[in-house]
């Protein structure tokens, strides 16, 4: 993975950080716009954004006094690729279960 896997998974563990990533799917946003979606003080949101930056999931750009954040999705693709074998495992298990249940009918 580009960013250390532990940092990416730790960043994704927080519902607040996952919501920030969802908001950034729509495009770059200034921090004050992101803050409108949360009931927390700005320093708390800034801490979440710092964790996302360190994990390589967002980038920051300054424009005058504003800081804009953008989604950097590459670490998410790498997490998805890492999860693929586990998805396959569970799909196969569920298929076997379905087949077993169908046999009993």
Q: What is the DSSP string of 75-96?
A: HHHHHHHHHHHHHHHHHHHHHH
DSSP type of residue 23: H
- Total-model pTM: 0.79
Q: What is the pLDDT of residues 27-76, one digit of tens each?
A: 999 999 999 999 999 889 999 999 999 999 999 999 999 999 999 999 99
Q: Domain-by-domain residue ranges, the chain?
A: 5-104
Distance from C-alpha of 37 to C-alpha of 33, rounded to nearest angstrom: 7
41 to 17, 31, 36, 50: CA distances (angstroms): 15, 12, 10, 15
Of the CATH numbers 3.40.50.300, 1.10.1740.10, 1.10.10.10, 3.30.390.30, which one belongs to the domain with range 5-104? Answer: 1.10.10.10
């Amino acid at each position: 993975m580009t960013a250390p896997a532990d940092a990416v998974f730790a960043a994704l563990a927080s519902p607040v950080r996952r919501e920030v990533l969802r908001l950034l799917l729509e495009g770059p946003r200034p921090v004050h716009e992101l803050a409108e979606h949360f009931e927390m003080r700005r320093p708390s949101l800034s801490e979440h954004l710092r964790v996302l930056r360190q994990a390589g999931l967002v980038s920051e750009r300054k424009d005058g006094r504003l800081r804009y954040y953008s989604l950097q999705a590459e670490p998410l693709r790498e997490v998805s690729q890492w999860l693929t074998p586990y998805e396959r495992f569970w799909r196969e298990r569920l298929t076997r279960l379905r087949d077993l249940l169908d046999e009993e009918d």
